[in-house]
Amino acid sequence: SRKAALRGGAPIVPGTTEFVTSAKEIQDFGNKFGWPVAIKAAFGGGGRGMKVVHSADQVQDAMDSAQRESKAFFGRDEIYVERYLTWPRHIEVQLVGDKHGNVVWVSTRDCSAQRRHQKLIEEAPAPGLPDGLEEAMGEAAVKAAKAVGYYNAGTVEFIFQDNDFFFLEMNTRLQVEHPVTEVITGIDLVEWQIRVASGEKLPMTQKQVAARRDGHGIEVRINAENPAGGKFLPSPGTITKLTTPDGFGTRFDGGYEAGDTVSQYYDNLVGKLIVWGKDRDTAIARTIRALDEMVIEGVHTTIPADRAILAHPDFAAVTHSTKWVEETLDLSNLTSSAGS
């Protein structure tokens, strides 16, 4: 994907475009471009198989760990390395391409509220960007997709820091957070996937897609984890009660109900709360209200942490980063019970 981004002219973080096979390659890269660096699984995602290395003497252990994790989760252990930015936001672009060479970008999303490199809260469009930057990201994403003749729904991820953005990776699928794009555009992305797969042309031009955007969307991932003290420890078990919120601008996508068991062996996502508001402040307030109405008993959930994130002034001011939850947000007094 990095090679495709280069062909499409997208700016990329300094990194390797070939697999690295030795600790010395990583050490040489870090000495040239500066520490820290990130070792990443070439065929992975979701933060798994990724290790941040702060000095040359940490490389071998981190490399071995990244390869083991990559092999366990993805069946392959190839890795690459890139510069690791210290306070970035995660901004991504939802796009769709057809088999006739047409590609449109539908919206941006901010997915910076994360723990362990995995997303907790996503919103669309990405707030607080300098004038013209959202359009530049969208155009860069489209160029990268066209460079490889891509068709289907897909997401191009960027990291944004100091008013610059860099290509991170492309996810060639419909992502977990796609509903926040749907609620601000009214576009059914799954329907578009089916139409594209059947050979149809995209039903809208870029200008028509842009005209559909309205308001602000927020998605909260409800995971079976105990966020007490900011540890986010897995909480497998049987859900004894599950009551979801409803109301105007509120949607819940989930596959569990009372009596179901959250396994320790699989992803612990219980469901996704998606909320629309006429503006960002309204969407935040409505999301907090919906979280207050939600009841899940039998397992711990991330709901208390989600409330803390959404109510924090840093989130309101869009000064948070992908490291903010773990390094800045104070969850030391956060308590959680299996009835939260």
What distance lies between CA 61 and its chain's CA centroid? 27
Report how far residue 128's alpha carbon sits from residue 126's, in angstroms, rounded to the nearest whole number.
7
β-strands 261-262, 164-171 pairing: unpaired
Q: Which one-letter amino acid corresponds to residue 20?
A: V
Give one DSSP letter per residue of 217-249, joined into a string. Answer: EEEEEEESEE-GGG--EE--EE--EEE---STT
Dihedral angle, C-alpha 182, 188, 190, 195, nearest 10 °: -140
Hey, how many other C-beta atoms are within 10 angstroms of the C-beta on 245?
Answer: 18
Query: What SS3 state is found at 65?
Result: helix
Hey, how many other C-beta atoms are within 10 angstroms of the C-beta on 314?
Answer: 13
Q: What tokens does 157 get?
A: 């991820």
Q: What tokens does 68 get?
A: 């083991």
Residues contacting residue 264 through CB under 8 Å, at least 6 positions apart? 234, 236
Report how far residue 48's alpha carbon sits from residue 65's, in angstroms, rounded to the nearest whole number.
11
Which of 116, 173, 212, 289 is the catalytic position? 173
Active site residue 173: yes
Please say whether the beta carbons of 111 and 169 come within 8 A: no
Catalytic residues, by residue number, are 173
